[in-house]
């Protein structure tokens, strides 16, 4: 009966199927223009009725494909009321709009840009997420970083220095809170989780002295326990206890590892500073390492890397030490005299995952340059770098993209080439004090940073007409990411000269050029224990002279050191993207 009534109506109007013909030659820009003639009128209602009840032609397609179906929009032309179908209610809806002041047909679902991490073909072009060309520059669609994650999973509100300040934990994902963008939110890098380290238990139950640990992130194999060298220094006669008697000078530590035959392998060596620092877990404290995996004492451990600017010293890592009631050494990296005695742990393997340190020369215990292959103190970083240990830190490592960015081919990270011009005044030098920022300010700057298609860095709130974002996914690097660009074969600054924004640095006036990381030493363990000065701290890396409160001439040059600074200290920064 309904079909008879509709046919009668069409015949009464003199608009039978024969007179409707085929769909118009054009596509439709708006919903309801079902015949594609560029307007919505009575002929569209008749066309829709004929399609539904007399076998007439289908409504013409939208000129642009619709986006995802959403509430109150149409993903097909002729669905005037947006109920996801074309039936009698739609021409009635259109007629009410045309002649009775009813609401207009619901709009076409808008074509959207591709969201690159939701497993949906948002723009309906047949390509989903990272397969869509629109996502080529997205962080999560680039090559993953080769670096391990730091282990930080929590975020903290930086505390002041008052006697009642508390390091409060924050919701990492809440970008309305201060200090958004911390290491604990992004957790960039190879996951530092329960699957990272694989233990080969070779001894009896409860005896870990013969065990090895394989790091699945870096491909390196480690002695599980601190080296038990023994009182007599004979590696074949350990005393079964790791204590202060297992400390060795730097040259002796190298010699021990070179002569070590352990767990059926005889190619052990003392780790370089990049390798040794990679096994720290900055999500743990006291000590800053996973003690379920590694045996460790709260002491300093030697690396095979000499201090470039003072080669009578070598770099070491502290898993936790206290100095004058302050947690200055909880996961920090510093230098020590090669004549001092520290603990050690051997490593083996030569995967090109971690970047080489940049060191190519070798030095004896007094700091005199020596033959890497035949001189004193064999087994140094400079020797093994020549043997292919680490991703080559050579002229081809960094690619200058000619847009103010640099891509690291070892880690797949893209860096802001210059020191961040926080003030935007064009004065990008390490002497420009105004470009220093507190840690929360550094995080906020990077989160709001945009590289425009004109290759200008701007804050997103400063974009004006004509500005378009080329990359807007910048962040403050975590500690291991920032450490990856330290070049231990250079000093003042200890980084490749592909990076700009340094200039002639006035050390006496401005002190050490330090750079913020997004890694925070959170919790009460990381604040000063002195009641009058309970300051929270974050991690920085020093890229050049001088150590705090020392003279620029004859003072310490700590280029390459990792330390902590109070959150309120003003420090330089450099943004990074990719690697997630």
Q: What is the pLDDT of residues 510-523, one digit of tens each?
A: 556 889 999 988 76
C-alpha angle with apex 331: 327 to 334, nearest 5 degrees? 90
Q: How confident is the model at residue 555 (pLDDT cuts 50, 70, 90)?
A: very low
Q: What pLDDT sits at residue 526?
A: 65
In this predicted model, what pLDDT tens digit does every residue of 378-419 receive, in sequence order? 999 999 999 999 999 999 999 999 999 999 999 999 999 988
Q: What is the DSSP letter of 356?
A: P
pLDDT at 515: 92
Which of 184-198, 205-219, 267-281, 351-365 shows the lowest per-residue confidence on average (mean pLDDT)? Answer: 205-219
Q: Which residue do the tokens 């309906």 mark?
A: 124
What one-character-per-residue DSSP string does 188-204 give?
-SB--STTSEEEE--SS
**Tally: H helices and E strands in the chain:** 11, 21
Contact 463, 560 (CB under 8 A): no
Coil, helix or strand for 571?
Answer: strand
Q: What are the φ and ψ backbone dihedral angles of 500, each rounded to 5 degrees?
A: -105, -165
pLDDT band at 552; cut points 50, 70, 90: very low
pLDDT of residue 568: 80
3-state secondary structure of 386: helix
Where does the pLDDT of residue 493 fall: very low under 50, low under 70, confident under 90, or very high at 90 and above? confident
Name the 3-class secondary structure at 514.
Answer: strand
DSSP state of 131: G
- Please provide the average confidence, as pLDDT, over all residues in the chain: 82
pLDDT of residue 14: 45
Q: Cα dist. 262→159, 233, 270 in Å? A: 46, 16, 14
Better-scored residue on pLDDT, 314 or 242: 314
Region 465-486: mean pLDDT is 90
Q: What is the pLDDT of residue 162?
A: 54
| Residue at token pair 């045309």 | 98
| Interval 485-514 mean pLDDT | 75
The predicted structure's pLDDT at residue 549 = 44
What pLDDT does 23 receive? Answer: 42
Q: Would you say residue 140 has pLDDT above 90?
A: no
**Mean pLDDT on 456-460:** 86
The 3-state secondary structure of 249-316 reads: CHHHHHHHHHCCCECCECCCECCCHHHHHHCCCCCCCCCCCCCCCCCCCCCEEEEEEECCCCCCEEEE
- Which of the four pLDDT bands, split at 50, 70 and 90, describes residue 22? very low
Residue 81 has pLDDT above 70, yes or no: yes
CB 302 within 8 A of CB 226: no
| Tens digits of residue pLDDT in 188-242 | 999 999 999 999 988 766 677 789 999 999 999 999 999 998 755 455 566 678 8
Q: Identify the residue with better confidence: 341 or 376.
A: 341
Position 473 confidence tier, pLDDT thresholds 50, 70, 90: very high
Query: Which distant-in-sequence residues (6+ apart) come within 8 Å of 57 by Cβ?
Result: 20, 21, 22, 23, 47, 50, 51
pLDDT at residue 110 tops 80: no
CA–CA separation, 21 vs 78, rounded Å?
Answer: 17
Residue 550 confidence (pLDDT) above 80: no
Which residues make beta-bridge pairs with 391?
Answer: 355
pLDDT at 18 over 50: no
Between 568 and 36, name the one with better pLDDT.
36
CA dist., res. 290 & res. 195, Å (int):
12
Higher pLDDT, 535 or 344: 344
How far is Cα 542 from Cα 276, in angstroms, rounded to an integer? 18
User: SS3 of 333, please?
Assistant: strand
Residue 382 dihedral angles phi and psi, to the nearest 5°: -60, -35
- Return the higher-pLDDT residue of 334 and 140: 334
How large is the average pLDDT for residues 265-279? Answer: 97
Query: Confidence class of residue 548 from pLDDT cuts 50, 70 and 90?
Result: very low
Question: Token digits for 417?
Answer: 């080439």
**What contacts 24+ positions apart, CB below 8 Å, involve 497-500?**
498/398, 498/400, 498/406, 498/417, 499/406, 499/415, 499/417, 499/418, 499/574, 500/417, 500/418, 500/419, 500/428
H or E, element range at 94: helix 89-99
């Amino acid at each position: 009966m309904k079909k008879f009534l509709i046919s009668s109506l069409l015949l009464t109007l003199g608009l039978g199927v024969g007179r409707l013909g085929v769909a118009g030659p054009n596509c439709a820009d708006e919903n309801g223009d079902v015949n594609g003639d560029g307007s919505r009128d009575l002929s569209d209602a008749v066309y829709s009725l004929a399609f539904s009840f007399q076998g007439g032609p289908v409504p013409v397609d939208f000129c642009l494909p619709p986006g995802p179906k959403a509430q109150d929009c149409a993903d097909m032309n002729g669905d005037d009321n947006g109920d996801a179908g074309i039936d009698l209610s739609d021409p009635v809806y259109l007629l009410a709009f045309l002649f009775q002041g009813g609401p207009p047909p619901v709009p076409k679902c808008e074509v959207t840009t591709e969201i690159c991490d939701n497993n949906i073909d948002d723009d309906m072009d047949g390509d989903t997420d990272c397969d869509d060309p629109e996502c080529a520059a997205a962080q999560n669609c680039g090559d993953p970083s080769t670096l391990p994650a730091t282990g930080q999973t929590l975020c903290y509100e930086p505390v002041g220095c008052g006697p009642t300040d508390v390091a409060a934990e924050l919701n990492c994902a809440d970008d309305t809170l201060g200090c958004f963008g911390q290491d604990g939110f992004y957790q960039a890098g190879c996951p530092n989780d329960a699957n990272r380290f694989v233990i080969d238990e070779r001894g009896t139950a409860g005896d870990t002295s013969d065990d090895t640990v394989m790091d699945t992130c870096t491909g390196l194999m480690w002695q599980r326990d601190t080296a038990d060298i023994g009182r007599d220094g004979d590696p074949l006669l350990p005393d079964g206890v790791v204590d202060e008697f297992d400390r060795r000078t730097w040259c002796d530590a190298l010699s021990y590892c070179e002569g070590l035959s352990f767990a059926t392998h005889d190619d052990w060596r003392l780790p370089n500073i990049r390798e040794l620092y990679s096994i720290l877990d900055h999500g743990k404290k006291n000590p800053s390492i996973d003690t379920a995996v590694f045996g460790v004492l709260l002491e300093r451990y030697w690396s095979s890397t000499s201090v470039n600017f003072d080669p009578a010293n070598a770099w070491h890592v502290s898993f936790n030490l206290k100095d004058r009631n302050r947690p200055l050494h909880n996961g920090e990296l510093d230098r020590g005299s090669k004549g001092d005695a520290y603990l050690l742990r051997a490593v083996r393997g030569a995967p090109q995952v971690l970047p080489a340190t940049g060191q190519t020369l070798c030095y004896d215990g007094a700091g005199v340059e020596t033959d890497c292959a035949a001189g004193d103190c064999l087994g140094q970083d400079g020797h093994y770098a020549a043997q292919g240990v680490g991703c080559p830190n050579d002229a081809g490592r960094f690619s200058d993209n000619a847009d103010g960015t640099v891509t690291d081919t070892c880690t797949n990270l893209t860096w802001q080439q210059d020191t961040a011009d926080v003030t935007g005044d064009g004065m990008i030098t390490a002497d420009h004090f105004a470009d220093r920022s507190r840690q929360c300010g550094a995080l906020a700057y990077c989160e709001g940073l945009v590289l425009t298609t004109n290759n200008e860095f701007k804050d997103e709130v400063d974009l004006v007409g004509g500005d378009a974002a080329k990359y807007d996914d910048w962040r403050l690097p975590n500690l291991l990411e920032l450490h990856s660009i330290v070049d231990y074969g250079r000093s003042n600054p200890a980084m490749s000269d592909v990076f700009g924004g340094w200039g002639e640095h006035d050390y006496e006036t401005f002190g050490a050029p330090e750079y913020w990381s997004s890694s925070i030493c959170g919790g009460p363990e990381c604040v000063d224990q002195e009641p009058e000065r309970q300051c929270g701290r974050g991690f920085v890396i020093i890229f050049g002279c001088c150590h705090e409160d020392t003279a620029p001439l004859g003072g310490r040059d700590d280029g390459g050191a990792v330390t902590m600074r109070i959150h309120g200290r003003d420090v330089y920064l450099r943004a990074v993207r990719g690697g997630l």
